[in-house]
A and B are shown apart, each in its own frame.
Chain A
Amino acid sequence: MATSSSGGDKFTRNLVIAMVALVVVVGAGFSYFGSKGSTTAAIPSSVSKDDGYGIVFNADVPNVPTIDIYEDFQCPVCARFAGINGMTIEKVIEEKKAKVVYHVLSFLGTESILAANASACAADEGKFLAFHKAFYNNQPAENAGAINADFLKSVGAAVGITSPEFATCVDNGGYADWVRNVAEAAAKANVNSTPTVFVNGKEIDRNTDYFNVEAFAKAIAG
């Protein structure tokens, strides 16, 4: 049943395979460069490159443990985590008992990037923690279109951020490059889940420490 055009078939086949391979390589290249950080990214205040581009509290307090907290604003478990341990963390920051670094990740999608950007805008106003708390208390469903500029501005307004700079910052998404830097740094730090908490570079126990107020307080005491 050989066809006379079998040579042509073979050529066409190789051509299609080559085209598919090209799309794969080009596509992967786009993904790679699209998710790559930028050294020229605008960086919000209180962010330190050396701390994985995280938002830092108590940077200058000596002889205290460093607590790195990795979250994604859209992750429901992060909202649960913040609800349980938010008070503890705020108290630790207030009493200067630890250096606390918030890493706002964005792996759940574009709305995570919008929220992370807005949290950076709030950090510029010195209200990251308040924004963070109010957001989690009203966390919308994942990637449902609910996290938009209007919503993020209303979260800001609820904690008293009413400046036009904040509104512009949320609208422009000017910290999007920084958000990618945060993600890239977390990838290098081998963070594979949210929330993830490191105390002095070592993860606390996922089986016991994350969702229990006493166990968490003990784990972050260093």
Chain B
Amino acid sequence: MILNLIEKFALGKYGKWFGLLCRLTLGGVLFAAGWLKIFTPTKSQMAVRAYEVLPISLANFLGIFLPWFEVGLGVLLILGIGVKLSAFFGGALMVLFIAAISQAWARGLSIDCGCFGGGGTVDPGETKYLSEILRDIGLALMGLYLFRYPLTRFAVEKLTKTERE
């Protein structure tokens, strides 16, 4: 039912414009988030370790790799190249972030998500888990929309015929 409505909207007059909005929002957020962390790798590693989920060596690896990955996805989404693929990874990243933040909240850790730089352990009164999760849910839904309807306005890439159907 609601899926039908979404489908109707997506294929209608404003669907591709909304797709553009999603691309620029998700892409812009990913690019900014990555860019702000690229130049302080030790801080970014600290932010990942603070979630206390991964083994330290893996967390340290991700702390260095993730910012660059986010920048790459952001660039592709903003340009509108490989939208389906980058929207998939962008959305999947958001789902992982939601899971990571939720578990930190549930376990009573007090950390900053470190999404846009920063991160690490903070005073218990300074956590903002709910707003972080709500933001990431919004972004994940945008990723899902783009994955389903990758054809958008002002994209560099023209989809081939088979991909359009």
Contacts and interface: CB of A to CB of B under 8 A. Distances in A.
B160 A6 contact: yes
Interface range for B: 35 or more
A17 B121 contact: no
B64 A31 contact: yes
Interface in A197-213: 206-207
Contacts of A207: 124
A31 to B, nearest CB: 5
B60 interface: yes
A158 interface: no
B40 interface: yes
Nearest to A207: B124
Contact of A34 (B41, B47, B164): B41
Contacts of A183: 42
Contact of B46 (A6, A12, A107): A107
Contact of B121 (A3, A9, A206): A206
A109 B76 contact: no
Nearest to B50: A192
| A-side interface mostly | helix
Interface in B114-165: 120-122, 124, 156-161, 164
A20 B42 contact: no
Given A16-B82, A17-B82, A187-B56, A2 B42 contact: no
22 contacts: A9-B157, A13-B81, A13-B82, A13-B157, A17-B85, A24-B69, A24-B71, A27-B68, A27-B71, A32-B41, A32-B64, A108-B40, A188-B56, A188-B60, A190-B49, A192-B46, A192-B47, A192-B49, A192-B120, A193-B46, A193-B50, A206-B110
Interface of A: 1-3, 6-7, 9-10, 12-13, 16-17, 20-21, 23-25, 27-28, 31-32, 34-35, 105-109, 183, 187-188, 190-194, 196, 206-207
Given A1-B164, A24-B72, A190-B56, 17 more contacts: A3-B158, A6-B161, A13-B82, A16-B156, A17-B82, A20-B72, A20-B76, A28-B65, A28-B69, A31-B38, A31-B67, A34-B41, A108-B40, A191-B46, A192-B49, A192-B111, A193-B120
